[in-house]
Amino acid sequence: MYPLVIISVPRQSGKTALVLAKAFHRGLMLPNARVWLTAQTGMHARDSFLEMARPAKLTPFGKLFDLKRGAGDTRIEFAHNMSQLRPHPPTEDSLHSKQSDLNLIDEAWVFGEDQAAGLMAAITPTQATRPMRQTVILSTRGTAASTWFHGLIDRVLEDNPPGVCLVDYGIGPDDDPQNLDVIAAAHPAYGHTIDMAALESAQAQLSPGEFARAYGNVPTAAAESLFPPSAWAACQTVDRLPEGPVTLAAAVSIDRSETAIAAAIMADGVPWCEVIEVREGTEWAAPRLAELAERHSDGPPWIDRGGPSGTVAVQLDRLMVPVRDATSYDVATAAADMSDRVIVGRIRCRVHPALTSAVGCAAWRNLGDGARAFGRRASAGSIAALEAVSTAAHGAAQHVPMPPPKIWTPDA
C-alpha cells in the first residue's frame, strides 16, 4: 500500500465515486478506522461529503452505516466496527488531537503553498501510530497559481520517490486541446459516463484555456492570464488607500461558497482598490456592508442584483440600506475599464490573497460584438474578489459626493 497517492484527472472522471469506494473500503474493513475528507473550504468539504454519502444510503451498504448531517457533526458511522468518515476544513488546527487512517484531499489545485503546508502539517501527525496510514490527493490540474499541486506531480515524475503512487490522465504537451477526438482518447470516463455530445457542449460554453484545463487536464498557462502578468504586478501595492470618498461593492461567487466586499477611492483620476473582507457563504455580507457603509461611505454600495449577489441586495433592502444596482452594462464596463487600466498602469490594487487567486483563475466571457466581462462559469474558481474590486473601481470613477446638509432658516 502506498502511503501517498496523487491522482490527477480531467473533470467528470468519476472522482466522487472513487473517493466513496476508497473511504467505504477503509471504513468497512478496518476496525475503528478514522477517514477524513477535505476540499477547498470547510463548506466545500461538507458538500462533497454529503454528495457521496447520500447516494450511498440507497445502496446495499446503506444498512451498514448511520449518516449524521448536523452542521457541526457531519459524519458516517459504521455500527459494526465503530469506524467513522468525516469532512473537515483545510486548516492547520482542524485535526488537532485527532487520529486518521485515511485522508482524502479533493480539489488540491486551489491550495497555495502556505495553506497546503498547514494542511499537511495537520494531517501528518494524526497518522503517526496508524499502521495502514494513507493520504490521497485528488484534483484536476489548476492555474499558474497552483504551484503546490503541480509541484507535487513534477517531483514525483522527476524523482520517482518510494512510497508514492501517481495516477495522471490527460493530453500531452504537443496535443491539440481543441481536438475532441484527442480529448476523448485521454479522458478516463469517455465511453462510460462522458460522450462526444457532452464534450461538444463543454467546448462551446468554456473558454479555450478552461476547456483544455477541465477536460484535457492541462494547467492554465501564464500566457492565458486575464491581464499581462507584468502589468498586473505593477498595479499591485501594499500601501493603504488614500483619503477620500469611499465606494463599496460586493460580489458572490457563482457557487455561492463565498462573498467578497471591496472598497475603492479615486485619487488624481486613479482608482485605489482594496478587498475588505472575503468569507464563506452570504448571510454575513449584508450586515457587514451596512456597517461599512454607515462608517466609511457617503454613497450606497454597488451590487449586481441580477447575478448571484442579488440575495445580498435583497437583504440590504430589508435592512433599509440603499443599494446602487449594477446593471449588466455596468458589470461589463467595469471589467473592460479595469483591464484597460491595468494595461496602462492607471489602477492600484492592494495585495490580497483572494484577489490574487481570482485574477489567476479568471477567464473572459464574450458578450458579442467585441464586448466581454469576467466569466463566472468560465473561470476556474471563485472570482468574487475580482468582481467586487472592479465594480467598486467603476463606482468610484462615477462617484458624485453627497451635497452638504442645508439648514433652512426663515428670513429675518
The reply to whether 269 and 385 lie within a common domain is yes
Q: List the grid coordinates of 245.
A: 470618498
State the DSSP H helix or E strand holding residue 85, giving kind and residue range, or none if neither: strand 83-87
The reply to whether 160 and 247 lie within a common domain is no
Does residue 406 lie in a domain region?
no
The reply to whether 240 and 101 lie within a common domain is no
pTM of the model: 0.59
The reply to whether 154 and 278 lie within a common domain is no
Count how many residues are written for the chain.
Answer: 412
- Domains in the chain: how many in total? 2
The reply to whether 28 and 117 lie within a common domain is yes
Dihedral angle over CA of 323, 325, 331, 337, nearest 10: -60
Q: Is 394 exposed, middle or buried (0-12, 13-18, 19+ CB in 10 A)?
A: buried
Does residue 203 lie in a domain region?
no
The span from the CA of 17 to the CA of 52, in Å, is: 7
Q: List the grid coordinates of 42.
A: 470547510
Residue ending a domain, among 145, 168, 191, is 168
The reply to whether 163 and 298 lie within a common domain is no
The reply to whether 148 and 11 lie within a common domain is yes
Residue ending a domain, among 168, 187, 203, is 168
Q: Please check whether residue 66 is in contact with residue 80, taking contact to mean a CB–CB distance below 8 angstroms.
A: no
Count CA atoms within 13 Å of residue 131 on its CB side.
3
The reply to whether 236 and 121 lie within a common domain is no
Does residue 108 lie in a domain region?
yes
The reply to whether 110 and 253 lie within a common domain is no
The percent helix, strand, coil of the chain (3-state, each to 5) is 40, 20, 40
- CATH at residue 361: 3.30.420.240
Does residue 52 lie in a domain region?
yes
Dihedral sign of CA atoms 201, 207, 208, 212 in order: negative
The pLDDT score that the predictor gives to residue 20 is 87
Residue ending a domain, among 142, 168, 194, is 168
Does residue 223 lie in a domain region?
no
Structural domain span for residue 18 = 4-168
Cell 491522482 locates to 7
Q: Please check whether residue 216 is in contact with residue 372, taking contact to mean a CB–CB distance below 8 angstroms.
A: no
Does residue 200 lie in a domain region?
no
The reply to whether 234 and 159 lie within a common domain is no
pLDDT by residue, tens only, the chain of 412 residues:
899 999 999 999 998 888 889 999 999 999 999 999 999 888 889 988 988 888 888 888 889 999 998 877 899 999 899 999 999 999 989 998 899 999 999 999 989 888 999 999 999 999 999 999 999 999 999 876 788 999 999 999 999 999 999 999 999 877 888 899 999 999 999 999 999 999 999 888 876 777 888 999 988 744 356 888 788 889 999 899 999 899 999 999 998 999 999 999 999 999 999 999 999 999 999 999 999 999 988 789 999 999 999 999 999 999 999 999 999 899 999 999 999 999 999 999 999 988 988 887 788 888 777 778 898 887 767 899 999 999 999 999 987 555 555 666 666 5
Residues with Cβ within 8 Å of 361's Cβ and at least 6 positions away in sequence, in order, are: 142, 143, 145, 220, 379, 380, 381, 382, 383
Dihedral angle over CA of 100, 106, 110, 113, nearest 10: 30
The pLDDT score that the predictor gives to residue 406 is 62
Q: Please check whether residue 256 is in contact with residue 281, taking contact to mean a CB–CB distance below 8 angstroms.
A: yes
The reply to whether 47 and 143 lie within a common domain is yes
Does residue 72 lie in a domain region?
yes
- CATH at residue 9: 3.40.50.300
Does residue 80 lie in a domain region?
yes
The reply to whether 99 and 244 lie within a common domain is no
User: Could you give the 3-state DSSP secondary structure of residue 136?
Assistant: strand
